[in-house]
Amino acid sequence: MNNNLKRLLNPRQIAVIGGAAATAVVRQCNLIGYTGDIWPVNPKRNEIGGHRCYATVADLPGAPDAAFIAVPREPTIEAVGQLAAIGAGGVVCYASGFAEMGEAGRTDQARLQAAMGDMALIGPNCYGVLNYLDGVTLWPDEHGGKRLERGAAIIAQSGNISISLSMQRRSVPLAYLIATGNQAGVTVPEYIETLLEDERVTAVGLHLEGLDDVAAFSRAALKALQKRVPLVVLKTGATALGSQITMSHTSSLAGADTLYDALFARLGVLRVHSIPELLEAIKFLSLVGPLPSGQIASISCSGGEAAIVADRAAAHGLTMPSLLPEQAANLHAVLGDRVALSNPLDYHTYIWDDEEAQYGCFHAMMGGSQEVTLKILDFPRLDMCDPAAWVKTGRAFARAATDRGARGVVVATMPENLPEAVAEPLLAAGVAPMWGIEECLVAIRGAAHIYAAQQTVAEKQPISAPVPLAHADGSIHTLNEVDSKALLGQFGLPTPKRAVATGENAVATAVSLGFPVVVKVLSSDIVHKSDVGGVVVNVRDEVGVKTAVSAMSHLSNQFLIEQMAPKPIVEMILGLTRDPQFGLALVLGAGGILVELFQDSQTLLLPTSRAEVESALSKLKIAPLLDGYRGQAGVDKAGLVTAVLNLARFAEAHADRLIEVDVNPLFVYEGGLTAVDAVISIADEKARPGTL
Ligand code: ADP
Ligand code: MG
C-alpha cells in the first residue's frame, strides 16, 4: 500500500476517467508542467487537453501509477475494480454518495473497499492531491500554488478547506496538499507515514474532524517526532462520549476533546485552533524550525507594538530575556541616548529610512540570548504608496540575520500589510514573513514544545489500541463502594478501615472500629451519596451513629461504617474513563466536592509512565500544594505516582470490562494516601467483585 501510495503521489502515468472534472485535471496537469503520460478514458471523445482518449480502462496501454476517477458512484466502483485488476498504483475517487451519507452509503463504500485491492485509494468524496514538489495535480479545479523544492504537506479532511488552503498567498511553502475525503482507502496515519519518507517534506499540517484509529495516529506521530518533522493539527468538533457511559466526576473532566489534547501533547503535536494559525505554524516550522526554548526578542518602531508582543508572549508562556551588557552597548552605539533600551525594543524612527543604521540596530539586537528575533513591520498599501523605506528595513533585517546566523522573522500586525510582492523578497533573503503577532507567537510556542518533545522522543510510546468490551450488550453494572474499594485494594490502593453494617448492628460496628467514624449509605444505585444526605462525617459517639443511620434509613438498609481519615494536605481525584476511540484513559486532578467547579485535571493516555505521571502532576494548578505551599508540608509524591501507576495497571488488567473508575476524594498526606471514596462501573451485569 505504502509503495502504491508513493506511485499515486508521484505518478509516471495518470489516467483520468470521466468528462468535465477529468478534463479539469488534465488542464491543471498541463498548466503545472506535468511530465509523465496522461491517459484520458472517455468513450465519447477522441482527445482531452491534447491527449488521445481510450474508450475503456481495458484499452489503456498499461497500468497507470495514478488514476483520477470522476464518474458517478456505481461506475466508480467498477473502474476501481478494473484498475486494481491491471495493477494500477492508486486512484483518487471524486464521486460522493458513500459513507458521508451515513447508513445509506456505507454498503457502497464497503464495495469500493472490496474493489480497491491493494491500490492506494484517496477518497471517495474528495478533491485529491496537489504535489508541488514533482508537479502533479490530481485535482479537478483551480488551485493557487507553485512548484517548489521543499516544503510542508497539508492533509485536510474537509474538501472545501483544502480548496481554500490551496489559495493561500502568505508564503507558506506548500509541498503537498491532500484532501482525504472519506478515507475509505488511505487513512491519515498512512499519509503521514508515507510523507515522512519524502526528505523534502519540512512539516505536516493536518485538518482533522476525527480519528478512527488513534493508536495508528500515535505511531505515525511518534515516527514524525523521530524524523524531526513537526506535526501541526487543527482538530475540530468534539466527539460525543458513548451514550451508555454514566456521568462520573472523572468523565465530566475528560471529554473527547481533552483526550485529543492529551494525545497531541504526549506526542509533541502542535494543536492550533484556526486556519491562519495552522498556516503560520507550518510556515514557521518549515522556514525557521523547532526552537530550543521559547525565548524571543522583538523590535518595533513603536512602544505600542512592543507592548502587544510583551503581553501576548507572556500569555503564551514565552519569555523575553533582558538585554545582555554587550548587546545594550552595541545598541547604544547605533541608537544613542534618545532611545530607552530594552527587550522588546522600541527603536523609534530616528534611523528610519537609513538602511545601514537599521542594520546595525538589528545586528546588535540579535546578539542576545533569544532564540528568535521578531521585527514588527507593516508595509504600506502598494496600490497607493511607495514601500521603498519599508523594503530597506526588511533588507537590513534579513542581512543582519544572515550575518549573525540568527533566526529572524518579519511580522505584520495585519496580514494584508505583508502582501506577496514584499514578502517574497524577504523569503528569498531567508526571513520568514509572518502574518499576525498572535499567530506568530502560537507558532513559536509550538516550535519550542516540539523541540522539547523531540529531545525526549526515546521515552515516548504510542498509545495502545482500545480493548473492546467483552460484554458489549450495553448493560452497565456499578459496584458499590465496598466492592469498588476491595478491588482497588488488590492493586495496592490504601483505603480507610471499614465494615458493612445494618441499622441494627451499626453502633456495635462503629464501636469496634473506634470513633470518630464516617457513616455512609451503601448502595450501588447511589453514585453521589452526599447529594442525597447519604454521608455523615466525624461521627464521635453511639448517639451520632444512631442519628446518622436513622436519617438515611429511607435510602438503604445497608451502611458503610468507616474510620474517619484525618484532614489531608490535598484532596485529589483519580479515575479512569472510557472513550470509544481512545479506550481507557487516566484522569488525575484536584478532587473533593468542588471538582467540577475547579476543573483542574490532567488526562493521561495508556500506557503511561512514571515520568508522564510526574509531569501531569506538575501541570496541575494544585501542584504547589503537592510540593508544600507557604511553609506547609508537601505530599508523598512518590507514593502518589505509584498509586496512579497502580491504577494504570488495574486499567490494563481489566481493559475489557472497565467503564469507569472514580476515586474521589483521594486524601493525600505527607506520609501516604488513602482513597476515602471509590466507584467502579463495569460493562457486565453478571460480573461479581473479585471475579472481574
Ligand atoms: P459521595 O458519594 O458524595 O462522593 P464520599 O464518600 O466521597 O461521598 O463522601 C463525601 C465527603 O465526605 C468526601 O468528599 C470526604 O470529604 C468525606 N469523607 C468520606 N469518607 C471519609 C472518611 N473515611 N474520612 C474522612 N472523610 C471522609
Ligand atoms: Mg466521593
Average pLDDT over residues 429-436: 98
CA of 560 to the centre of ligand 1 (A): 11
Give yes or no for residue 99 having a pLDDT over 60: yes
**CA of 665 relative to ligand 2 center, distance in Å:** 6
Residue 650: all three cell numbers together: 488495574
Q: With pLDDT > 70 as the criterion, what percentage of the chain qualifies?
A: 96
pLDDT of residue 250: 66
The answer to whether the beta carbons of residues 581 and 256 sit under 8 Å apart is: yes
- How confident is the model at residue 471, as a pLDDT? 77
Residue 246 has what pLDDT? Answer: 42
Residue 252 has pLDDT above 80, yes or no: no
| Contact predicate 556/502, CB 8 Å | no
Supply the pTM of this predicted model. Answer: 0.94
Atom 4 of ligand 1 has which residue's CA nearest to it? 528
Residue closest via CA to ligand 1's atom 16 equals 592
Cell numbers found for residue 578: 472510557
Nearest ligand to residue 594 Cα:
1
Lowest mean pLDDT among 14-18, 56-60, 474-478: 474-478
C-alpha of residue 663 to centroid of ligand 2, in Å: 7
Express each pLDDT in 14-46 by its tens digit: 999 999 999 999 999 999 999 999 999 999 999
Q: Give the CA dihedral 612, 615, 617, 620, nearest 10 degrees.
A: -130
Residues 6+ apart with CB under 8 A from 480: 522, 523, 524
| Residues 95 and 81 sit within 8 Å (Cβ to Cβ) | no
User: Are the beta carbons of 313 and 441 closer than 8 angstroms?
Assistant: yes
Task: Give the CA distances from residue 670 to residues 137, 632, 635, 643, 646, in Å, rounded to whole numbers and listed in that order.
Answer: 64, 10, 4, 14, 19
What are the helix and strand counts (H, E) for the chain?
23, 30
Segment 549-561 shows an average pLDDT of 96
CB-defined site of ligand 1, < 6 Å:
496, 518, 520, 528-530, 535, 537, 562, 564-565, 592-593, 665, 676-677
- pLDDT confidence of 11, banded at 50, 70, 90? very high
pLDDT beyond 60 at 244: no
- Predicted confidence band of residue 210 (pLDDT cuts 50, 70, 90): confident
| pLDDT of 456 higher than 70 | yes
**Residues near 142 by beta carbon (within 8 Å), at least 6 away in sequence:** 28
Question: Ligand 1, closest atom to CA 531?
Answer: 3
- Rounded Cα gap, residues 154 and 24, in angstroms: 22
Domains in the chain with CATH codes: 2-239 (3.40.50.720), 286-458 (3.40.50.261), 497-563 (3.30.1490.20), 570-684 (3.30.470.20)
Over residues 286-340, the pLDDT tens digits come to 999 999 999 999 999 999 999 999 999 999 999 999 999 999 999 999 999 999 9
Contact between 419 and 378 (Cβ < 8 Å): no
Closest ligand 1 atom number to CA of residue 530: 3
pLDDT at residue 241 greater than cutoff 50: no
- Cα–Cα distances in angstroms (integers) from residue 351 to residues 348, 362, 388, 437, in the given order: 8, 12, 15, 24
pLDDT higher than 60, residue 344: yes
Q: Whole-number mean pLDDT of the chain?
A: 95
Predicted confidence at residue 613, as pLDDT, reads 97
Strands (E), 453-553: 477-479, 498-501, 517-521, 535-539
- Using a 10 angstrom Cβ sphere, with 0-12 exposed, 13-18 middle and 19 or more buried, the burial of residue 53 is middle
Q: Is the pLDDT of residue 447 over 60?
A: yes
- Which residue from 660, 677, 680 has its CB within 8 A of the most atoms of ligand 1, so it is best to mutate? 677
Report d(CA 617, CA 62) in Å as an integer: 60
Residue whose CA lies nearest to ligand 1 atom number 23: 564
